[in-house]
């Protein structure tokens, strides 16, 4: 690659986050359309037609019309190489989303303009804010009747605690949607072309449109103009540094479904979104993208993306240096040498073998079980270990067993591979060795059961254990006699002991009885 610094400066790597059904998969599709990667945008509403969203590759996603796994898609647009990580919207899969946020340089938050800020949006944003990730807001579904835009902006600032700056402003919504007042580009984008076939109207020096334009006599236009003047006088100023610090969110309005306002959003986003930046190691050192030493980390593992080939992909975010196909790297956890020869990148519904890649890029490494989520890989002799990725303490638990005892091999293989993806946790009873699954939400069990049957031909039996409080215990402090019916002793998949407490009362009782014993939870 001729000039790696120039290539890094062209990269924009971002995650799309939202509450379920806010339209993030649809907006992803439209961006792929602009990038020339797909000819026709699918929609998650197209279940009957069989035209599924390009980023919803898993069969259960296509059947239910939801995203339950992060998808990685790459395309070129406006001189930039864009890596989109389309995250699960469903809250049961928030752990996958949180890890994905560790692999991006900015985030796009999609909000339903009729519903406003929803609980899952707030939860996701807290992680974004914690990491000071620059966030861009897209109020979607303007083609439907929505809430007052001033009210939406105020709610965004109040609930999420972030300053906002509108880059455009809706002129009506739903059936009376006229267009967008684009403050940034000084033009009006019309929802439907005017009598002369124009889709855009330039703004005059005073921020209005020329006399004689039909729109100027429209009350909806005058109301929108009044609101624009209000936010320009009383609102925040556009501050690029505040955007990069994650303190100011540029706000856009539009409709992903009708592809209105998405292209102007994408162009403006690319002007303000940051290029790849340094990532920190466990020692607190910053690894700069321009470093000659190649490094990256595994933030996601996915089995059976192509069920016909039973493949398994480890998704790696490149942090520094240049990837070259066939290069040798060290897997930090095991200090083991690995040759990266079978590596792919994702372009909508196709994959391409990759010869070179730079910081900001996401590469998929074909994996036979070598990698774990959070693994660091690097070239050269200098050791690098990036910060740990978040893991959640499960709240729901189920005993799991094979329905057909003659199919134990596929049962154990399926469990081993799906657990390594990190969306469901595996435990075993201390004495009997029975398998127990732990998850953040019920949908994870449904997806697990579906995939075991459809991808591994293994029917399973799930026996609910209900809510439990999982607490790890130092092995040196463990006495098996501490276990009881109210605090079940189990092992995690790393052979570490933990108790599953029936409720908070049982946990308090245990602490009172064993005051010197230290109990620990995950994130």
Average pLDDT for 373-401: 91
Report the phi/psi class of residue 374: left, alpha or beta, with left for phi > 0 and alpha for psi in -120 to 50: left
Alpha helices in 165-304 (DSSP H): 219-234, 240-244, 262-272
Q: Are residues 117 and 198 in the same domain?
A: yes
What distances in angstroms separate CA 439 from CA 88, 391, 448, 449, 465, one per listed residue? 15, 11, 10, 13, 12
* Domain membership flag for residue 290: yes
Domain hosting 329: range is 280-378
pLDDT exceeds 50 at position 62: no
pLDDT value for 307: 55
Q: What does the alpha-carbon distance between residue 67 and residue 25 come to, in Å, rounded to a whole number?
A: 8
* Domain membership flag for residue 88: no
Structural domain total, the chain = 3
Find the range with the poorest average confidence among 113-122, 267-276, 500-509.
113-122
Q: Are residues 126 and 164 in the same domain?
A: yes
* Domain membership flag for residue 386: no
* Domain membership flag for residue 133: yes
Q: Are residues 257 and 302 in the same domain?
A: no
CB atoms closer than 10 angstroms to residue 166: 27
Q: Are 138 and 165 in contact (CB under 8 A)?
A: no
Q: Are 445 and 396 in contact (CB under 8 A)?
A: yes
Q: Are 211 and 290 in contact (CB under 8 A)?
A: no
* Domain membership flag for residue 423: yes
Q: What does the alpha-carbon distance between residue 264 and residue 259 come to, in Å, rounded to a whole number?
A: 10
Average pLDDT for 204-221: 85
pLDDT value for 41: 46
Average pLDDT for 341-359: 79
Average pLDDT for 126-132: 81
pLDDT exceeds 50 at position 272: yes
Write out the E strands in 341-416.
343-347, 350-353, 356-357, 362-366, 376-378, 396-402
Q: What does the alpha-carbon distance between residue 185 and residue 67 come to, in Å, rounded to a whole number?
A: 34
Q: Are residues 229 and 183 in the same domain?
A: yes
Q: Which residues pair with 350 in a beta bridge?
A: 347
Q: Are residues 253 and 334 in the same domain?
A: no
pLDDT value for 119: 76
Q: What does the alpha-carbon distance between residue 362 and residue 158 come to, in Å, rounded to a whole number?
A: 34
Task: Tell me the two tokens of residue 112.
Answer: 């339903």
Give just the sign of the alpha carbon dihedral 41, 255, 253, 98.
negative
Q: What does the alpha-carbon distance between residue 315 and residue 367 come to, in Å, rounded to a whole number?
A: 10
Find the range with the poorest average confidence among 90-99, 172-181, 205-214, 454-463.
90-99
Percent of the chain with pLDDT over 90: 56
Q: What does the alpha-carbon distance between residue 205 and residue 137 come to, in Å, rounded to a whole number?
A: 27
Degrees, nearest 5: CA angle 62-67-73: 95
* Domain membership flag for residue 80: no
Mean pLDDT comparison of 197-201, 384-388, 389-393, highest-scoring range:
384-388
CB atoms closer than 10 angstroms to residue 462: 15
pLDDT value for 255: 96
Question: What is 68-128 written as a DSSP string?
Answer: -S-EEEEEEETTEEEEEEE---SGGGHHHHHHHHTT-SEEEEEEETTT-S-HHHHHHHHHH
* Domain membership flag for residue 410: yes
Q: Are residues 206 and 300 in the same domain?
A: no
Instruction: Name which of 137, 129, 90 is nearest 112 in CA terms.
Output: 137
Q: Are 373 and 26 in contact (CB under 8 A)?
A: no
Q: What does the alpha-carbon distance between residue 357 and residue 350 come to, in Å, rounded to a whole number?
A: 18
DSSP 390: P
* Length of the chain counted residue by residue: 523
Contacts of 276 (CB under 8 A, 6+ apart): 8, 11, 13, 105, 289, 319, 359, 360
CATH of the domain at 418: 3.30.70.3280
Q: Are residues 351 and 490 in the same domain?
A: no
Q: Are residues 128 and 262 in the same domain?
A: yes
* Domain membership flag for residue 415: yes
- Point out the domain boundary residue: 272, 288, 319: 272
Q: What is the pLDDT of residues 284-340, one digit of tens each?
A: 999 999 999 999 999 988 876 555 556 788 999 999 999 999 999 999 999 999 999
Q: Are 139 and 251 in contact (CB under 8 A)?
A: yes
pLDDT exceeds 70 at position 491: yes
pLDDT value for 359: 97
pLDDT value for 239: 96
Q: Are residues 245 and 148 in the same domain?
A: yes
- Point out the domain boundary residue: 256, 272, 288: 272
pLDDT, mean over the chain: 86
Task: Tell me the two tokens of residue 134.
Answer: 């620059």
Contacts of 78 (CB under 8 A, 6+ apart): 266, 267, 270
Instruction: Name which of 452, 440, 467 is nearest 400 in CA terms.
Output: 452
Q: Tell me the backbone φ, ψ of residue 12, rounded to 5 degrees.
A: -135, 115
Write out the E strands in 167-294.
168-171, 179-182, 187-190, 200-202, 248-253, 279-280, 286-287
- 128-149 b/e with 16+ CB inside 10 Å = b? beeeebbbbbbbbbbbeebeeb
Q: Are 365 and 312 in contact (CB under 8 A)?
A: no
Classified as helix, coil or strand, 265 is helix
pLDDT value for 51: 44
Q: Are residues 230 and 331 in the same domain?
A: no
Q: Are residues 182 and 133 in the same domain?
A: yes
Q: Tell me the backbone φ, ψ of residue 214, rounded to 5 degrees.
A: -55, -35
Which residue is associated with the tokens 């919207």?
A: 89
Classified as helix, coil or strand, 384 is coil
Task: Tell me the two tokens of residue 246.
Answer: 């994650």
CATH of the domain at 368: 3.40.50.300
pTM of the model: 0.81
Give just the sign of the alpha carbon dihedral 15, 17, 21, 24.
negative
- Point out the domain boundary residue: 329, 348, 378: 378
Q: Which residues define the annotated binding site for GTP?
A: 18-25, 86-90, 140-143
Q: Are residues 147 and 187 in the same domain?
A: yes
pLDDT value for 19: 78
Q: Which residues define the annotated binding site?
A: 18-25, 86-90, 140-143
């Amino acid at each position: 690659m001729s000039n790696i610094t120039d290539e890094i400066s062209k990269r924009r790597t971002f995650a799309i986050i939202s509450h379920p059904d806010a339209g993030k998969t649809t907006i992803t599709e439209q961006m792929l359309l602009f990038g020339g990667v797909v000819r026709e945008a699918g929609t998650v509403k197209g279940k009957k037609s069989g035209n599924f969203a390009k980023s919803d590759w898993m069969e259960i996603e296509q059947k239910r019309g939801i995203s339950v796994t992060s998808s990685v898609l790459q395309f070129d647009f406006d001189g930039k190489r864009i890596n989109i990580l389309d995250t699960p919207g469903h809250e049961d899969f928030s752990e996958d989303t949180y890890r994905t946020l560790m692999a991006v340089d900015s985030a796009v938050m999609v909000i339903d303009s009729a519903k406003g800020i929803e609980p899952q949006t707030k939860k996701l944003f807290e992680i974004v804010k914690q990491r000071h990730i620059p966030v861009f807001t897209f109020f979607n579904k303007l083609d439907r009747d929505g809430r007052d835009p001033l009210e939406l902006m105020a709610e965004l600032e109040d609930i999420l605690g972030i300053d906002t700056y509108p880059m455009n402003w809706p002129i009506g919504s739903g059936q009376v949607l006229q267009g967008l007042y684009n403050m940034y580009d000084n033009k009006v984008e019309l929802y439907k072309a005017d009598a002369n076939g124009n889709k855009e109207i330039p703004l005059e020096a005073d921020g209005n449109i020329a006399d004689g334009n039909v729109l100027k006599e429209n009350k909806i236009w005058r109301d929108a103009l009044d609101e624009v003047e209000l936010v320009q006088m009383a609102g925040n100023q556009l501050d690029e540094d505040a955007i990069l610090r994650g303190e100011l969110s540029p706000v856009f309005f539009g409709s992903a479904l009708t592809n209105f306002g998405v292209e102007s959003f994408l162009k403006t986003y690319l002007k303000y979104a940051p290029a790849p930046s340094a990532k920190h190691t466990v020692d607190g050192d910053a690894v700069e993208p321009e470093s000659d030493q190649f490094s990256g980390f595994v933030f996601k593992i996915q089995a059976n993306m192509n069920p016909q080939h039973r493949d398994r992909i480890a998704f790696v975010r490149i942090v520094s240096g240049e990837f070259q196909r066939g290069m040798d790297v060290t897997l930090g956890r095991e200090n083991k040498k690995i040759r990266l020869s079978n590596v792919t990148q994702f372009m909508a519904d196709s994959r391409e073998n990759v010869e070179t890649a730079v910081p900001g890029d996401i590469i998929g490494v074909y994996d036979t079980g070598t990698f774990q989520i959070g693994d660091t890989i690097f070239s050269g002799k200098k050791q690098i270990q990036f910060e740990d990725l978040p893991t959640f303490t499960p709240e729901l638990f189920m005993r799991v067993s094979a329905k057909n005892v003659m199919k134990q091999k596929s049962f154990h293989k399926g469990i081993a591979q799906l657990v390594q993806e990190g969306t469901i946790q595996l435990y075993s009873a201390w004495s009997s060795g029975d398998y127990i699954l732990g998850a953040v939400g019920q949908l994870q069990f449904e997806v697990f059961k579906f995939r075991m049957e459809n991808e591994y031909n293994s029917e399973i039996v799930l026996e609910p254990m209900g809510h439990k409080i999982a607490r790890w215990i130092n092995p040196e402090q463990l006495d098996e006699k501490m276990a009881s019916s109210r605090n079940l002793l189990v092992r995690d998949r790393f052979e570490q002991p933990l108790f599953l407490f029936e409720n908070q009362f049982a946990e308090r009782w245990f602490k009172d009885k064993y005051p010197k014993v230290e109990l620990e939870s995950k994130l």
